[in-house]
Chains A and B, each alone.
Chain A
Amino acid sequence: MAKPTAQHRDARLEEVMTGTTVFNVPFPADLSTLKGMSPLVIRFPYSVEYVHSYGQDSPFFAGLANRKLLGTRCAPCRYTYATPRLHCPACGRETDWTELPQEGRVHTFTTCYYGSEEFLKETPFHLILVEFDGVDTLLLARLIGVAGPEEIRIDMKVRAKFRRNSQLKTTDVYFVPT
């Protein structure tokens, strides 16, 4: 049998957030021993529903629902934002909505084998920053249709696809290799 490595020795079960319900705890007669007591740990659920407004970014999401990828353009600065912003940080003026190309290239990428709790069930998933011809900034999106990082290359061509049933989220657009 192979000798255990650091990786073997460090293996451990993941902590879970479930526990036993306790209705009573032991208590000493002598109060001076209380400082040696083990800490009491209780479960404390916390959930909240927001009414989240996309505000001035709303047209981007309406665009996705209509299979359009929208960015914004500052004409005086000749600068196009792939991830939209209604005001140009360089000159302070309001930008105009513009349609982006639906084909681009991978600027950089990763494959996530773990993730935040909300996305853990979707792992492994692939994140890319997409660059478009004639556009000055990038767009963060998912890449699908590849098995792993070995199938993704920087500068690889990708094409936008849209969910038919819009969720009104930025993930309504995703990319596949062309």
Chain B
Amino acid sequence: MVSGGVSKFVKARPDATFQKMVKEAFDYALGDVPRLKTDRIDGSVGSYFSDHFTRQLMAGIMATDYLGLCPKPNKRVEGGGATGGLCFQTAWESVASGRMNCCVAFGFETMSRVQTWKGNEFIALASDVNFDYPVGGFYSGYYAMMVNRHIHEFGTTLEQMAMVSVKNHGNACFNPYAQKRKRITIQDVRNAEMVAYPLTLLDICVMSDGAAVCILADEETAFQLTDKPVRITGVGTGTDMMRMADRPRGKVILAPNEKESDYRNLTYPGVHSFRAGRSAALQAYRMGGIKDPLREIDFVELHDAYTSSEIQTYEDLALCRYGEGGRFIEEGHPFLPRIDYGMKLKKKGTIPVNPSGGLIACGHPVGATGLMQAVFAFWQIQGTIRRHFGSGELQLQKAERGLIHSHAGTGTYVTVSILERGW
């Protein structure tokens, strides 16, 4: 990866069409690598989640032509909430296969074009329309059911979930790209309006308009364009049954740092865990040679559409054992070491998770989200957070290897990619 750009995620961008938002992110990325002229770009991959939100078929080509990347190759990649992560990996495949020396990944979503509850309806159409959607299609409801089972199996608490919200909103105070930048408390989260028990308004990310761009190149091209390229050393993509009701109840897929006796009485994945996330992580770890993710990865940008899914994802990524996600946040591990969150944390900063503020604070314009995570991770590894954010509070001292995680449906598509210092 040689560059990235984000068109800030906001509630609504009536002043711009999706092409213009993509162009903003693209121009930012080009501006960061002045040696890259567009004639060196061999093609692009575009991602947006919903034709309903965009109300424009073949929107991908409209962004491509706006960027001036015709007549080069382009295609659209789509996979629900993981659309951005899949787009990133498809651009990686384009370069890794040798088809392109330099490939642009762009993603966007324009969700403000409908009212929030109609938007929730569009999103809920990503559940089986024969059996699931008509019962009361609502993703916050689906995640609420999953975390209620997680609570039942493992004793996870509502306060532990709220801590994720406190952390991510708190980190966002120092990220000018975040839209919800505020210091909040566990009580604020629990007192916020109930959406689907036990998830409140502050446990859930917001629909947004926005775009993001990543530029990927092969090693030789990368070093011609920048002195600080970031190497993609592992990719993994997992899937699971569309219907939560169909998830099997079998044995845990073990990470290298786990053994079968850790999980004697646990049926897996059930509806409490994401088998796709575990599968994606293990593929990426195998490819990247990672045996002990907690110690070998410096930070994580993961798909916190819900506070609960951040906790579930700690476990899928084997940052802790299944069932220990709640305690993992309670002890402080995923917080940033140098930021004051207004609470006492015993083991603060073992592995910062969502230093950017994540989806909960930045927003979730679906097709752009996974690429935004890649851009923030790229800047962390380059050590350029101060330049891009205007202040350095979120720059981690050790950020040589990061993990990005993009997640769809009720855990239906999940991508995990490992990014490392490449120079």
- Report A's interface with B, CB cutoff 8 A: 5-7, 14-17, 38-39, 41, 44, 46, 52, 54, 57, 81-83, 85, 89, 107-120, 122, 125, 127-129, 136-142, 148-149, 154, 169-171
Contact = CB atoms under 8 A, between A and B. Distances in A.
B117 A110 contact: no
Contact of B141 (A7, A44, A115): A115
Given A6-B182, A107-B149, A129-B145, A120 B117 contact: yes
B348 interface: no
Contact of B137 (A6, A39, A119): A119
B148 A127 contact: no
A112 B14 CA distance: 30
A110 B148 contact: yes
A30 to B, nearest CB: 20
A170 to B, nearest CB: 5
B120 interface: yes
B116 interface: yes
B14 A108 contact: no
Nearest to A169: B134
Interface string B152-194: 1000000000000000000000000000001010001001111
B15 to A, nearest CB: 5
A129 B245 contact: yes
19 contacts: A5-B191, A7-B193, A57-B131, A108-B146, A108-B149, A112-B138, A112-B140, A112-B195, A115-B120, A116-B123, A116-B136, A129-B145, A136-B248, A137-B247, A137-B248, A140-B131, A140-B244, A149-B197, A170-B134
Nearest to B123: A116
Contact of A140 (B16, B182, B245): B245
B115 interface: yes
A108 B145 contact: yes
B148 A108 contact: yes
Interface of B: 14-16, 55, 114-118, 120-121, 123-124, 129-132, 134-138, 140-141, 144-146, 148-149, 152, 182, 184, 188, 191-198, 241, 243-249, 271
Contact of A119 (B129, B138, B152): B138
A44 B55 contact: yes
A83 B135 contact: no
B135 A116 contact: no
A10 to B, nearest CB: 9
A118 B121 contact: yes
A6 B118 contact: no
B138 A115 contact: yes
B117 A115 contact: yes
Given A110-B148, A115-B138, A119-B136, A129 B271 contact: yes
A111 B198 CA distance: 8
Contact of A114 (B114, B137, B138, B182): B138
Contact of A127 (B136, B194, B195, B198): B136
A138 B182 contact: no
A6 B184 contact: yes
Given A111-B197, A115-B141, A116-B121, A83 B245 contact: yes
A14 B116 contact: yes
A114 B130 contact: no
B293 to A, nearest CB: 28
B135 A170 contact: yes
A54 B140 contact: no
A112 B196 contact: yes
A171 B196 contact: no
Q: Which of B16, B114, B138, B271 has the most CB of A within 10 A?
A: B138
Given A108-B152, A117-B115, A129-B244, A39 B15 contact: yes
A122 B136 contact: yes
A7 B136 contact: no
Contacts of A16: 115
Contact of B249 (A113, A136, A171): A136
A40 B106 CA distance: 26
Contacts of A83: 131, 243, 245-246
Contacts of B16: 39
Contacts of A39: 14-16
Contacts of A138: 244-246, 271
Contacts of A111: 196-197
Nearest to A41: B14
Q: Which of B55, B124, B192, B197 has the most CB of A within 10 A?
A: B197
B197 to A, nearest CB: 4
Contacts of B145: 108-110, 127-129
Contacts of B241: 89
Contacts of B130: 54, 57, 170
A109 B192 CA distance: 20
B271 A108 contact: yes
